[in-house]
Amino acid sequence: MATQLPTSNSSFRDAYCSHRRCKPEDFETKVFLQTIQPFRFLPALFFLLIHRRLFAMDLETIRSVGKSSDSKDVSRILEEFSNYNRLERGRRRGVLKIRTSGTRLMALYTRYEPMITKPIVDNPLAGVGAISQSKATPNVTQHTSIQSSARLRKIRQVISGLSSGRSITELLTEAELTEAGFMDGLAANSENNPGFAWLRDQILLRSRLESALREVSELEKTVASQSRELAKIRDHA
């Protein structure tokens, strides 16, 4: 079966696949293998085949960059990716250092950017009457959008602080966010912000672990109390 290539290059992924003649569904894998350190290619390929989920954050970042047609959006995505790299200090990143290079990914985007067809911007003078009318009437949608943007800035502020090793409780207080609001914000914005879903999963895992440790601690206290009671019974016997 012939490979279906994009008919127009409206994004980085389209331009890359058209030039490299690869299937769009192979885009993330090919770019990932192209943006790691060359001498780590074989171990990366091995882990990619047996446990693809290890690279979920890398692949999600590449997917988001693939949808982009503006270098400013790519820079923002890669800045977030850099924050998550500092947060994740597992063996794969800390020791093996198998991960996407943000610098290599940006360079790859820059190489294909001239091939991307930028979206046409509407005439700013069009619909002046409609704009004037909208000024006279409160725009609920615009107000909601502003609120969403403000919350997104606060979420990124917290993430930036976490990558510096600060306490999440302190950061949430500074950003005037509750933990529930922060988690909801991560979930609501995860589609357009690579790593949000990953961070939410990590916080949930930490919460479950802390809950399990508290239960274990309570169980240990109960066992110790019962052991003391049993020892007293034996002494009396």
Higher pLDDT, 24 or 221: 24
In this prediction, residue 134 carries a pLDDT of 45
In this prediction, residue 136 carries a pLDDT of 45
Tell me which long-range contacts 218-225 makes (C-beta under 8 A, separation of at least 24). none
| DSSP per position, 178-224 | -HHHHHHHHHHTTTTSTTHHHHHHHHHHHHHHHHHHHHHHHHHHHHH
In this prediction, residue 124 carries a pLDDT of 47
Higher pLDDT, 19 or 160: 19
pLDDT at residue 4 greater than cutoff 70? no
The per-residue pLDDT for range 99-138, each reduced to its tens digit, is: 889 999 999 999 999 999 876 655 544 444 444 444 444 5
In this prediction, residue 105 carries a pLDDT of 94
Question: b/e map of 97-121 (b: 16 or more CB within 10 Å)?
Answer: ebbbbbeebbebbeebbeebeeeee
* 105 within 8 A of 78, measured Cβ to Cβ: yes
Give pTM, 2 decimals: 0.56
The per-residue pLDDT for range 39-91, each reduced to its tens digit, is: 888 888 888 888 888 888 888 899 989 999 889 989 988 888 887 777 765 54
3-14 mean pLDDT: 73
Least confident of 7-11, 139-143, 194-198: 139-143
Whole-Å CA distances, 122 to 4, 12, 92, 118, 126? 31, 22, 46, 12, 8
The per-residue pLDDT for range 170-222, each reduced to its tens digit, is: 888 888 888 888 888 888 877 767 677 777 777 777 777 777 878 888 888 88
pLDDT at residue 226 greater than cutoff 80? yes
Least Cα distance to 210 among 161, 156, 169 occurs for 169
